[in-house]
Structure 1
């Protein structure tokens, strides 16, 4: 790989309540491997190092899983926080300045090589990038008092990996947490006011949240 060193910061702190399973969704089996291992395998060929952010109480269980499945992909583990914001902040401490860092949800195991590469290239050129998908259904603005149609062509959904120059996103995460921070791009924009470059992501790059998502991922991977 040419250019700046590349890091993947994979955040896997979810409890998976909507999945309805006994264990967190990042550890659930998917075509014979835990979801999180699939995610790491997708990113590994594109980066120099992986930083995995897990709650401290999951560290020993993760090591047991790695031993059980013979999972040898090199990575470092950081301690997750009470919020995603705190977890990303913790993981960024293991990423040096002068690098590019792709911050990715641990439960997005179907991100494509093309999406990963597009985000890295755009972030190297402009400082920040994120994958998006166009909306395909009609969209309405809604409140309990009123609702009306809006032009869906002016809106997109955003995926991960959201990718940045490491020193810029670390500086952004030095600010206190606010409720309006919905993803890494919102933290970056709040700090700098700089635009984020959007690149088209792949439709299969879904976030596994419900049992239906897990079933769909199983079908797509098979």
Structure 2
């Protein structure tokens, strides 16, 4: 079996949450969001190695969280970079052998072990697995010249994480200079000339961005705990 590495990006400040604490450390049912994220990856694979990217001022808090989980030997903590690209590159630079690499938003705390395992299996076969769900709202494209126009929402995919790749694809792609158009790992890999492949995502795999998202996440956790 291929080696498994997860680069969990949690280097942001989360200003849209309106809190002084970075959102990855906000509590959900009395546990930090990051706790749920890490737990999902360890439940998916007990032999996974995780690189956790945090703001430099919160490395010590991250170490305490990892210690409380008893996972010090499986988690490496590093400081984030200027952009998501640079934060992920900091993690990629630590790769020492061929592996399957998951790049995941730390505040997508409702990711399931099943989705993680599905991404792993597809990446082994095809080289990549990009979770995505179909848009459910009506979609319009804004144009500075013509105003806006409707498009077929069935053609629109909402991309999630963990974006999963064979390590050689990521290493080669992230050796390129940074560009503002690099909004996620898939765009970087595609710019390097490689094709990427989508996989069915999960509508519950939401990214905690606004205060209301915490309420939604709490409701989802309650429903899961009923079964």
Are residue 23 (structure 1) and residue 21 (structure 2) matched?
A: yes
2:119 equivalent in structure 1 = 119
Is the 1:101–1:163 contact (alpha carbons within 8 Å) kept by the matching residues of 2? yes
How far 1:144 moved relative to its partner? Answer: 4.1
How far 1:96 moved relative to its partner? Answer: 2.6
Is the 1:96–1:167 contact (alpha carbons within 8 Å) kept by the matching residues of 2? no
Are residue 177 (structure 1) and residue 175 (structure 2) matched?
A: no
SS in structure 2 at match of 1:85: helix
> How does 1:48-87 map onto structure 2 within 5 Å?
48-66=48-66, 70-73=68-71, 74-87=74-87
Taking structure 1 as the reference length, the TM-score comes to 0.93
Q: RMSD in angstroms over aligned alpha carbons? A: 1.3
Are residue 103 (structure 1) and residue 115 (structure 2) matched?
A: no
1:167 equivalent in structure 2 = 168
**2: CA distance, partners of 1:164 / 1:119:** 9
List per-residue Cα deviations over 1:56-89 (Å, max 9, x = no partner): 221122234445xx22223111221111111000
**2: CA distance, partners of 1:22 / 1:189:** 36
**1: CA distance, partners of 2:59 / 2:38:** 16
**2: CA distance, partners of 1:198 / 1:163:** 10
**1: CA distance, partners of 2:52 / 2:130:** 19
1:45 equivalent in structure 2 = 43
Taking structure 2 as the reference length, the TM-score comes to 0.91
List per-residue Cα deviations over 1:154-200 (Å, max 9, x = no partner): 111000000001121011111111010010000000012x2211110
Is the 1:44–1:50 contact (alpha carbons within 8 Å) kept by the matching residues of 2? no
Contiguous gaps of at least 5 residues in structure 2: 223-227
SS in structure 2 at match of 1:176: coil
SS in structure 1 at match of 2:94: coil
Contiguous gaps of at least 5 residues in structure 1: none
Would you say how many aligned residue pairs link Structure 1 and Structure 2? 217
